[in-house]
Amino acid sequence: MVIIFSDKFASNDFSEWAGTTGTPTTSSAYVHHGTYSVKIDASETVYEGITSTDATRYIEAYIYFVSLPTSNNYQVGICGFAPTGFHGYPFFATVYKDPADSKVKFALRNAYNNNWGITDIEPSTGQWYCIKLKYIKSGNGALYVDGVLRVTLSCPSVNTDYVFIGSPEGTQGEAYIDCVIVADVDIPCESSIIVVQVM
Ligand SMILES: [Ca+2]
């Protein structure tokens, strides 16, 4: 496995990243590892450029929800990939208040093709979730929640030029994101990676 990019926000800033949209901040209020994480409470992201490729890519991040969307069609985005410059319509893991039944559910969002893959899994506040997203150009992307495949959705027919964490659109709620890993093969849980490194 090649880890393409990772950050646990130990530096208390976004110096490892290429830039931000909106005004995300680091925080010590809720952390999965170390002292700092990233607070997301609006449409805001932290992004990094990666080598443009049509190969399969994975991003994993941990998220803790303090509050969830209260209005239908709102989200808290988590992590994803974006083509052709960061503003080129991302493909990302999110939680979405589904207007079909007014429940908040983990989901995949393809903003490029403007469609959704909605799970029946409802997030809770006050706990960490391990979120993993698979992206493959023109293939089936996949969302894993705590290691379990929950939904697939067709990816755009574009390369992955950027990775990001946060919430690109329609945000309502408050969440904390930590322990981001981007890799070229399926990423085991963080605890497994630590074991591999010890060996
Ligand atoms: Ca951290």
CA of 38 to the centre of ligand 1 (A): 8
What per-residue confidence (pLDDT) applies to 85?
Answer: 65
Q: Does domain 3-198 have CATH number 2.60.120.200?
A: yes
DSSP the chain: --EEEEE--TTSSSTTSSEEES--EEESSS-SSSS-EEEE-SSEEEEEEEEEESS-EEEEEEEEEEE---STT-EEEEEEEE-TTTTS--EEEEEEEETTTTEEEEEEEETTTTEEEE-SPPP-SSSEEEEEEEE-TTSEEEEEETTEEEEEEEPPSS-EEEEEEEE-SSB-SEEEEEEEEEESSPPPPHHHHHHHHH-
pLDDT digits (tens, 9 = 90+) for 33-56: 999 999 999 999 999 999 888 999
- pTM score of the predicted model: 0.93
Amino acid 89: pLDDT:
86
Start-to-end Cα distance in the chain: 15
pLDDT tens readout for residues 118-152: 999 999 999 999 999 999 999 999 999 999 999 99
Give the Cα separation of 38 and 115 in Å (integer): 27
How much distance in Å is there from the Cα of 72 to the middle of ligand 1?
31
The residue count of the chain comes to: 199
Cα(96) to centroid of ligand 1, in Å? 25
188 falls in which pLDDT band (50, 70, 90)? confident
Query: What's the CA-to-centroid distance between 46 and ligand 1, angstroms?
Result: 14
Report how far ligand 1's centroid is from the alpha carbon of 165 (Å). Answer: 14
Give me ligand 1 centre to Cα 18, in Å.
Answer: 18
Residue list, CB under 5 A from ion ligand 1: 8-9, 31, 33-34, 178
37, 83, 127, 149, 187 from 131: Cα distances, Å: 15, 20, 13, 10, 11
